[in-house]
Amino acid sequence: MIPAPFRYTRAATVDEAMQVLQQDSDAKVLAGGHSLLPMMKLRLARPSHLVDVTRIPELSTLKMSSDVVVVGAAVRYAVLSQSRIAEVMPLLTEAVRLIADPQVRHRGTVGGSAAHADPASDLAAVFLATDALFVVASPRGIRRIPAAEWYVAPMVTALAGDEMLVRVEFPQPQPARQTYLKFAHPASGYALAGVAAMLDIQEGMIQHVRLAVTGAGAMPFRARSAEQLLAGRPLAAVRFEEAADAGAKDGEYLSDAQYSEEYRRNLACVMMRRALEKLAAE
């Protein structure tokens, strides 16, 4: 299958990429292309112009400091999984290693996942749990969009047509205990339920609980009810099952031909409970 014809520009700078987006409202940003090109082959997407941003040096940034981890939008999963970011955000590298397969991880990018906004994207749970900030550029300047506002609808983000994602910022420090657990669809490998979980345990008390779920719901979501039930409580006194059950109710679920709404909600609950148990046992 060959995509419909389009123009191609390899941008050298963010400004150059933005110019194309401004001139042509049907232009799309191309990074790894592993979501966009399959859609273009099927004519589910038919952009008139692709702006390749993968060779803009700024977009390949990986920076760590005491207050923030910065990941450029065009950083590929394979690069991220091998990076020193594992030392401060094991959650992120753990999740990235579970995305698709080795070949796809050599092309797919962090920014591409964010901008594509597949509601079963592994990174969606990580972005939500860590309160990541999406730094976007436009002719009006730079703005930061919090993860909680990023995912508007399935495959729709808060990005305006002339805006482009430049980098993702993860505020630091994050809670010390972190994990990403995934129940993958046996054929597609997509998350039927993926849970990003973080917490601290200080003197037997649970603190700073962050839980987010992808794949199970119609949209990725933060399980705040579970967080509220657990935060500040003694580890010995909490029931993870109860918290996970409450957290799962924060999502909205849809039935489809394969899986019922109840099954998906239950899966979110089970995966949250497992993630919490894993972190408590560390």
Nearest alpha carbon to residue 119 among 5, 233, 200, 214: 214
236 binds another protein (CB under 8 A): no
189 binds another protein (CB under 8 A): yes
Nearer to another protein, 106 or 144 (CB): 106
One residue of 62, 86, 104, 280 binding another protein per CB under 8 A? 104
| Region near another protein per CB under 8 A, out of 6-14, 143-151, 246-254, 265-273 | 6-14
Round the CA-based radius of gyration of the chain to a whole number and report it. Answer: 19
**How many whole angstroms separate alpha carbon 79 and alpha carbon 86?**
11
CB of 41 to another protein, least distance (A): 7
Strands of the 221-222 sheet, one edge to the other: 177-184, 191-202, 205-214, 221-222
Nearer to another protein, 105 or 210 (CB): 105
Joined tokens for residue 114: 């964010």
**How many whole angstroms separate alpha carbon 35 and alpha carbon 159?**
17
CB of 78 to another protein, least distance (A): 7
Map residue 12 onto helix, strand or coil. coil
Nearest alpha carbon to residue 164 among 120, 92, 112: 112
37 binds another protein (CB under 8 A): yes
**How many whole angstroms separate alpha carbon 12 and alpha carbon 242?**
52
116 binds another protein (CB under 8 A): no
| Region near another protein per CB under 8 A, out of 100-108, 140-148, 150-158, 199-207 | 100-108
One residue of 3, 143, 155, 219 binding another protein per CB under 8 A? 3
CB of 22 to another protein, least distance (A): 20
Joined tokens for residue 25: 């409202």
| End-to-end alpha carbon distance in the chain | 48
Burial bucket for residue 149 (CB in 10 Å: 0-12, 13-18, 19+): exposed
One residue of 33, 46, 207, 219 binding another protein per CB under 8 A? 33
4 binds another protein (CB under 8 A): yes
45 binds another protein (CB under 8 A): no
Cα 223 to its chain centre, rounded Å, is 15
The CA-atom distances, in angstroms, between 61 and each of 79, 89, 149, 180 are 11, 16, 24, 24
Joined tokens for residue 4: 């419909």
Tell me the per-residue interface mask from 55 to 94 with another protein, x by CB under 8 A, - otherwise: -----------------------x----------------
38 binds another protein (CB under 8 A): yes
One residue of 18, 54, 208, 227 binding another protein per CB under 8 A? 54
23 binds another protein (CB under 8 A): no
Q: What are phi and psi of 3, to 5 degrees?
A: -65, 160
CB of 55 to another protein, least distance (A): 9
Binding site for another protein (CB under 8 A): 1-8, 10, 30, 33-34, 37-38, 41, 50, 52, 54, 78, 100-104, 106-107, 189
